[in-house]
Structure 1
Amino acid sequence: MNFDGEDLSGTSLTDRLAPDETHVFRGCDLTEADLWGASLAGARFESCVLEQADFRKADLDGAAFTGGGGMRVRFSDADLIDAVFTDVDLSSAQFGGALMTDASFTGCRLIGASLTGSRGTGFRVTRSNLTMANLGGCSLRGEEIEGVRFDEADLSGCDFTDATFTDCRLREAKLLKTVFTRADLRGADLGEIDDARLRAFGGAIVNRAQADAILAARGITVL
């Protein structure tokens, strides 16, 4: 079923979506739309307004969101396995309890989003802004993380084992019990590193300039 340019704001769509169809939404207004528990596997959302849309417990396995977006979209407890988000504004979105295995975010705005409590074996994020986002407890083991801003994000308990950071920022990120074992941070802006942050980065790989800056902050000069 296709929805083209429709105003679906505030509408309950659950009963209109057959589970055996692939649904396409193009340029629709889904502001505060009720999609709780909806069957949306493989659905396509193209340049839709998603302000406060409710996708809680929805089946979004393999769904694709391209462009558009809005504040405070709710994906809590949804199935987002293999879901793809490209150039979507998901600021302050809620992902708690969502199954995120192999979901991907590219060019997305996730400022203040909450991904803590999401489930699965990990997701991918590239060229996205996660400033002040909460990723507490998330796993990004072995991921290639490129062009991501984690400034002031809560990364407490995150697992970045074997991850590689390229053109990323970690300024003032919260790093309580964050795991960086063998993580390659040579392409990351680590910001100011006090003793607590230095301990948090234990086991990580840094470059010579980063190491020199860490030592210089402690009054040690390397010749």
Structure 2
Amino acid sequence: MESNPASWPDDLYEQIKSHGEFLSARLGKLTRGKQLTLVGVDLTGVKLVGMNLQRAVFRGCRFYCADLRNSDFSQAVLTGCDLSGADLTNARFVWSNLRGADLSRAILKGTRFENADMRPMTEPPVLPHGKGGVVSLSDTTLHNTNLSQAKLLGASFVGAILDGAILDNADLEGADFSYSTLSNVQFKNTKLHDANFHLADFPVEMMKDLQTGGAKLPQVVPPEVLEQVVNDHQLWIDTDGQRGRRAIMSGWYLSRAHLAQANLNGADLRKVNLSNANLHGARLICSDLREANLMYTNLTDADLRGALTEGSRGLPVVLPGNKN
């Protein structure tokens, strides 16, 4: 997206220079420069690469698709800011105030948020660009991102990819990890009370750490139980419901399950986690897949005619006339 410098303050870079003098003066206990303070300003597409913006104040500002790589926002105030789509590679937000900020779809590679305040913002957002409510990291990739000791109460990680993220000693009470993918994530001494992992894709070995932290977890089903349920469902179909039992697997954790060629016509699969599962050639006619996690699911040659899929994630685009 092209930037729109006309919407920035004419003297933006002069203000940043003055802020640098302000920071230097603080170190020497002198009075020089002026602290950078912007309220409700649209900084869409701005390039602030490698800048020292420690202790700067941005309230309700818009940094949509901004280039903030390698910049230092330590102890800065960014309450209610829109940072969606911004490149925050190797940026620092240590001890910063990001309450109510929107970081959805941002690029977080090596980004540091240690001790950041990322709790919901309770006061009204600054118009016209300010955000409010919970901090959003939805659909964001967090690669080697450090969130240790950050306050993330109620934060949204919906659809996020957490690869090598550090969440040690963070407060994630009530956070939502629905449809997220987690690998090599550190949760040492993390507060996870009521954090929702029902539709998250994570290695089974991570389950213990999540349980210890008090997270809400999906129902993990042993392979032999799954096999019996599928067999009972097949019998239920073959006998028109006279024998066997309809498969009701709502809310089950079936990530990476092997269900190739399975007959699940009419099965209840609401909010089931089938991420990375193998459903090659499976029959899912008139099944209920509402709000299911189908991220990276193998649905090659699967028959989804008449299936309910509202709210599901990861389902391939269906063209008229195609059965899958």
Q: Give the TM-score taking structure 2 as reference length.
A: 0.51
Matches of 2:137 and 2:146, distance apart in 1: 22
Report percent identity of matched pairs.
23
CA-CA distance at 1:189 after TM superposition: 6.0
Tell me what 2:199 maps to: 182
Matches of 2:213 and 2:37, distance apart in 1: 45
Is residue 2:138 matched to residue 1:122?
yes
Report the residue type matching 1:154 in the other structure: D
Tell me what 1:62 maps to: 65
Aligned-partner SS, 2:68: strand
Matches of 2:108 and 2:89, distance apart in 1: 6
Q: Residues 107-138 of structure 1: CA distance to partner in whole angstroms, max 9, x if unpaired?
A: 11110012221455725222111110011111
Distance 1:188-1:36 versus aligned 2 partners, 3 A rule: farther
CA-CA distance at 1:23 after TM superposition: 9.6
Tell me what 1:103 maps to: 106
Matches of 2:71 and 2:205, distance apart in 1: 29
Distance 1:187-1:54 versus aligned 2 partners, 3 A rule: farther
- Structure 2 alignment gaps of length 5 or more: 24-34, 121-133, 222-324
Distance 1:19-1:149 versus aligned 2 partners, 3 A rule: same
2:44 pairs, out of 36, 41, 44, with 41
Matches of 1:70 and 1:52, distance apart in 2: 7
Report the residue type matching 2:107 in the other structure: S
More strand by share: 1
Matches of 1:18 and 1:101, distance apart in 2: 25
- Structure 1 alignment gaps of length 5 or more: 1-16, 207-223
Matches of 1:151 and 1:66, distance apart in 2: 24
Tell me what 1:220 maps to: none
Distance 1:81-1:142 versus aligned 2 partners, 3 A rule: closer
Distance 1:51-1:183 versus aligned 2 partners, 3 A rule: same
Matches of 2:205 and 2:108, distance apart in 1: 19
Q: CA RMSD in A?
A: 3.1
Contact 1:22 1:41 in 2 (8 A): no
Q: Give the TM-score taking structure 1 as reference length.
A: 0.71
Distance 1:66-1:199 versus aligned 2 partners, 3 A rule: closer
CA-CA distance at 1:37 after TM superposition: 2.4
Tell me what 1:197 maps to: 212
Tell me what 1:161 maps to: 178
Q: Residues 26-84 of structure 1: CA distance to partner in whole angstroms, max 9, x if unpaired?
A: x9665531222223111011111111111111121221201130421111022222222
Distance 1:54-1:24 versus aligned 2 partners, 3 A rule: closer
- Which of the pair has the greater relative contact order for Cα pairs under 8 Å at 6+ separation? 1
Distance 1:72-1:189 versus aligned 2 partners, 3 A rule: farther
Greater shift in the superposed pair: 180-189 or 137-146: 180-189
**What is the aligned residue count?**
187
Is residue 2:79 matched to residue 1:91?
no
Tell me what 1:72 maps to: 75
Is residue 2:39 matched to residue 1:51?
no
CA-CA distance at 1:22 after TM superposition: 10
Show the 5 A alignment for 1:144-155. Answer: 144-155=161-172
CA-CA distance at 1:190 after TM superposition: 6.9
Pick the structure with greater CA Rg. 2
More helix by share: 2
